[in-house]
């Protein structure tokens, strides 16, 4: 039996970001229980070429920088701030654990331990069960991130068909193949295609099964530092003004694209998916070289000689390497209250900003007493899936920000929060020049019309 203030289940990015703020802002003790052998969650199972999709500057835990704060000089991200590799993310969390958490004397870490759901966990190595007496139980597993390497494809694959997760592409003996079929329309598939193109694989030899096309975020608009501040501010303001003025959903997306806020691979296809995939112009340009795109819905099965999809079939064969990129890294989970008695369930309070959200929830836990107030501050913004979800999450983000703005102390915390991509914009407000003040005024004026218009468009769409 051990006794702690917080039992945190899951040492993935969210569990780590939550624990970090609890250690910084309270005197509480924590038991961190993790099924895997080390912290970092799904990053431990990621494909070797994975990198963050958004700058390292906003990732990890609040109290420790990730990366060197430099811009990339080469590659698809050249000119923009660095994106940590998967290995770097895992080693960063290892440092956080061993250099910050454990030396604090307030964290007990239990790797290789399966939480049993009743305040106890079992060691996977020894089978020993430990009871935990904790004032609060924090579920940092609820978002249920899945990556392709941890499960077989979710469609039947005939025995002799070669179908691998992207992790296997760089394993000995896998490449080359005569032809390639990439399955999936999300960011993992984009990463696999970019990696293959980067290895000199002929784009003509790649078929890309994209059940849905995706709206993507422009990474240029999500950058830290003064150099990008005007660009970020202008992007922020034009998004609000476009949302306020759009006459229809089509009009909205046309204007968001024209303003460089949303991007798509194929300009002749109107995307129906939005899942926060973040890209650069040069990545899109490279991806456009793959012209053999199959839009026949989801794969139902792969037979020896054909791939059967929801709306048709395409030929395949033993010479083809299929790359399964269909795992759901951004599952849409039912929303539950973040704070409920002794339970805290970590979810996103700003779209696709998991680590920021976990840190924010920990700050709310540390600073407020009333459960209703805490839940109001930590209103969940569920993961988006469809294009219409772009409207829903933008509206929900806007409402949360408006509620947070009412609270001066919270505003001060946000200004200092490394994980908050907007913190630098907020911090600027002390010394802003007249142009920036004018831009912010425009944003304030358009905020309410934007909320009303987005609500109207959402209702029309549903
Ligand atoms: C390829 C990829 C790139 C991404 N890039 C970015 C990015 O650039 N920026 C960004 O903000 N977000 C990004 N994300 C989103 C990302 O999912 C989150 O940032 C974050 O890593 C998710 O962490 P998590 O803690 O919610 O989940 P996980 O990483 O899944 O962690 C949950 C942990 O809980 C453990 N666990 C589960 N059940 C139990 C149990 N019963 N007992 C004990 N332990 C248990 C698991 O072993 C795991 O370690 C990316 C996601 C993917 C898939």
Stated as kind and residue range, the H or E segment containing 282 is: helix 281-287
Q: Is 53 in the pocket of ligand 1 (CB under 6 A)?
A: yes
Which residue, chain included where needed, has tokens 């099924």?
A: 35
Q: Tens digit of pLDDT for each residue in 148-185?
A: 888 999 999 999 999 999 999 999 999 999 999 999 99
Residue nearest atom 31 in ligand 1 by C-alpha distance: 12
Residues 190-216, mean pLDDT to the nearest whole number: 97
Q: Does 430 score more than 60 pLDDT?
A: no
What burial letters (b/e) apply to 56-70, b meaning 16+ CB within 10 Å? bbbbbbbbeebbeee
As a whole number, mean pLDDT of residues 64-88 equals 97
* Together in a domain, 205 and 283: yes
How sure is the predictor about 123, in pLDDT bands with cuts at 50, 70 and 90? very high
How far is Cα 68 from Cα 373, in angstroms, rounded to an integer? 38
- Nearest-CA residue for ligand 1 atom 19 is 354
CA–centroid distance, 109 to ligand 1, in Å, is 18
Q: Are residues 163 and 312 in the same domain?
A: yes
Domain with residue 93: its CATH number is: 3.50.50.60
Same domain, 79 and 60: yes
Strand partners, 312: 309
Q: Is the C-beta atom of 15 inside 6 A of ligand 1?
A: yes
Confidence band of 275 (pLDDT split at 50, 70, 90):
very high
Q: Does a structural domain hold residue 383?
A: no
| Ligand 1 pocket member 277 (CB < 6 A) | no
Claim to verify: residue 202 and residue 306 sit in the same structural domain: yes
| Domain housing 65 | 2-146+330-377
The answer to whether residue 111 sits within a structural domain is: yes
Structural domain contains residue 243: no
161 and 47 co-located in one domain: no
What percent of the chain stands above pLDDT 90?
Answer: 93
**For residue 120, is pLDDT > 60?**
yes
CA–centroid distance, 10 to ligand 1, in Å, is 9
Q: Whose CA is nearest to atom 10 of ligand 1?
A: 353
324, 345, 367 - which closes a domain: 324
Q: Give the angle 394-397-402 at the CA atoms, nearest 5°.
A: 125
Whether 327 is in the pocket of ligand 1, judged by its Cβ within 6 Å, is no
Taking the centre of ligand 1 as the mean of its atom positions, its distance from the CA of residue 133, in whole angstroms, is: 26
DSSP state of 386: B
Among 324, 345, 365, which residue terminates a domain? 324
The pick from 8, 12, 151, 184 for probing ligand 1's pocket by mutation, whose C-beta has the most ligand atoms within 8 angstroms, reads 12
| pLDDT given at position 436 | 87
User: What stretch of H or E contains 413?
Assistant: helix 408-416
Is the minimum distance from the CB of 191 to ligand 1 under 6 angstroms?
no
Q: State whether the beta carbon of 17 lies less than 6 angstroms from ligand 1.
A: no
Among 55, 354, 419, residue to substitute to test ligand 1 (most atoms within 8 Å of Cβ): 354
Nearest atom, ligand 1, residue 115 CA: 42
Please tell me whether residues 202 and 158 are part of one structural domain.
yes
Within a domain: residue 427? no
Does the pLDDT of residue 438 top 70, yes or no? yes
- pLDDT surpasses 70 at 41: yes
Q: What per-residue confidence (pLDDT) applies to 434?
A: 87
Check if 217 has its Cβ closer than 6 Å to any atom of ligand 1: no
Secondary structure element (H or E) that encloses residue 226, with its range = helix 226-245
Q: Given a cut of 60, is residue 21 above it in pLDDT?
A: yes
Instruction: Determine the angle formed by the axes of helices 249-258 and 226-245, rounding to 10 degrees.
Output: 160
Write the CB contacts of 163 (distance below 8 Å, at least 6 apart in sequence).
153, 157, 302, 322, 323, 324
Q: For ligand 1, is residue 115 a contact (CB within 6 Å)?
A: yes
- Is the C-beta atom of 358 inside 6 A of ligand 1? no
42 CA → ligand 1 middle, Å: 5
Q: Retrieve residue 202's tokens.
A: 């002929």
Please indicate whether residue 140, judged by its CB atom, sits closer than 6 Å to ligand 1: yes
In short, whether 168's Cβ falls inside 6 Å of ligand 1 is no
Ligand 1 nearest atom to the CA of residue 117, by list position:
41
Neighbour tally for 449: CB within 10 Å: 14
What average pLDDT does the segment 223-233 reach? 89
196 phi and psi angles, rounded to 5 deg: -65, -45
d(CA 70, CA 81): 6
Question: Are residue 204 and residue 78 in the same domain, yes or no?
Answer: no
Residue 278 CA: which ligand 1 atom is closest?
8
Distance 256 CA to ligand 1 centre (A): 29
Q: Are 333 and 144 in contact (CB under 8 A)?
A: yes
Whether residue 269 is predicted with pLDDT greater than 70 in this model: the reply is yes
Q: What is the mean pLDDT of residues 55-83?
A: 97
Is 350 within a domain?
yes
Centroid of ligand 1 to alpha carbon of 170 (angstroms): 23
DSSP state of 157: B
Q: 300-350: per-residue pLDDT in tens?
A: 999 999 999 999 999 999 999 999 999 888 999 999 999 999 999 999 999
The alpha carbon torsion through 423, 238, 272, 140 (nearest 10 deg) reads: 10
Q: Determine, yes or no, domain membership for 417.
A: no
Residue 437 lies in a domain: no
Tens digit of each residue's pLDDT (9 = 90 or more) over 349-385: 999 999 999 999 999 999 999 999 999 999 999 999 9
At 18 the three-state DSSP class reads helix
Nearest ligand 1 atom, CA 42: 29
**Mean pLDDT score of the chain, rounded to an integer?**
96
How many domains does the structure of the chain reveal?
2
Alpha-carbon span 59 to 52, nearest angstrom: 8
- Please, which residues have CB within 8 angstroms of residue 167's CB and are 6 or more apart in sequence? 45, 46, 47, 48, 148, 149
Nearest Cα residue to 64 out of 24, 15, 34: 24
Answer yes or no: do 11 and 142 share one domain.
Answer: yes
Do 166 and 300 share a domain, yes or no? yes
From the CB of 54, is ligand 1 less than 6 Å away? yes
Q: Within this chain, do residues 272 and 190 fall inside the same structural domain, yes or no? A: yes
Token output for 191: 């990463």
Place of tokens 């947070």: 404
Tokens of 54: 């958004």
On whether both 185 and 287 belong to a single domain, the answer is yes
Say whether both 158 and 303 belong to one domain: yes
Residue 423 located in a structural domain: no
Q: Which of 8, 42, 381 for a ligand 1 pocket mutation test, highest count of atoms within 8 Å of Cβ?
A: 42
Read off the pTM: 0.97
Cα of 166 vs centre of ligand 1, distance in Å, is: 18
Cis peptide before 214 (omega within 30 of 0): no
Which of 377, 393, 415 is a domain's end point? 377
């Amino acid at each position: 039996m051990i006794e702690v203030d917080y039992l945190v289940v899951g040492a993935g990015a969210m569990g780590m970001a939550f624990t970090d703020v609890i250690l910084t802002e309270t005197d509480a003790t924590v038991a961190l229980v993790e099924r895997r052998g080390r912290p970092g969650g799904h990053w431990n199972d990621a494909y070797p070429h994975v990198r963050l999709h958004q700058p390292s500057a906003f990732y990890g835990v609040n109290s420790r920088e990730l990366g060197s704060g430099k811009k990339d000089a080469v590659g698809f991200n050249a000119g923009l701030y660095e994106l940590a590799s998967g290995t770097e993310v895992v080693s960063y969390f290892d440092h956080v654990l061993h250099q910050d958490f454990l030396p604090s004397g307030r964290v007990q870490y239990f790797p290789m331990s399966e939480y049993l759901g009743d305040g106890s966990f079992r060691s996977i190595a020894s089978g020993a069960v430990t009871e935990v007496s904790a004032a609060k139980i924090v579920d940092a597993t609820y978002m249920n991130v899945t990556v392709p390497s941890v499960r077989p494809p979710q469609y039947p694959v005939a025995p002799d068909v070669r179908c691998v997760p992207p992790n296997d592409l760089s394993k000995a003996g896998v490449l080359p193949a005569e032809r390639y079929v990439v399955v999936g329309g999300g960011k993992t598939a984009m990463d696999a295609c970019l990696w293959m193109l980067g290895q000199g694989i002929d784009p003509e030899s790649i078929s890309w099964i994209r059940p849905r096309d995706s709206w993507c975020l422009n990474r240029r608009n999500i950058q830290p530092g003064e150099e990008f501040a005007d660009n970020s501010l202008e992007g922020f303001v034009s998004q609000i003004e476009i949302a306020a003025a759009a006459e229809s959903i089509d009009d909205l997306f046309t204007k968001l694209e024209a303003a460089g806020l949303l991007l798509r691979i194929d300009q002749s296809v109107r995307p129906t998916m939005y899942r926060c995939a973040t890209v650069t112009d040069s990545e899109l340009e490279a991806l456009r070289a793959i012209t053999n795109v199959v839009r026949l819905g989801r794969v139902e099965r792969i037979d020896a000689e054909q791939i059967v999809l929801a709306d048709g079939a395409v030929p395949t064969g033993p010479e083809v390497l299929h790359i399964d990129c269909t795992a759901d890294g951004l599952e849409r989970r039912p929303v539950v209250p973040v704070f409920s008695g002794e339970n805290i369930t970590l979810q996103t309070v700003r779209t696709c900003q998991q680590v920021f959200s976990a840190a924010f929830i920990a700050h709310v836990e540390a600073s407020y007493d009333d459960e209703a107030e805490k839940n109001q501050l930590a209103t969940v913004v569920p993961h988006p899936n469809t294009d219409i979800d772009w409207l829903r999450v933008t509206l929900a983000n806007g409402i949360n920000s408006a509620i947070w703005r009412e609270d001066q102390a919270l505003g001060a915390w946000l200004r200092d929060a490394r994980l908050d991509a907007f913190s630098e914009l907020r911090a600027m407000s002390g010394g802003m020049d007249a142009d920036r003040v004018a831009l912010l005024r425009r944003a304030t004026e358009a905020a309410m019309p934007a909320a009303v218009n987005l609500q109207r468009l959402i209702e029309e769409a549903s």
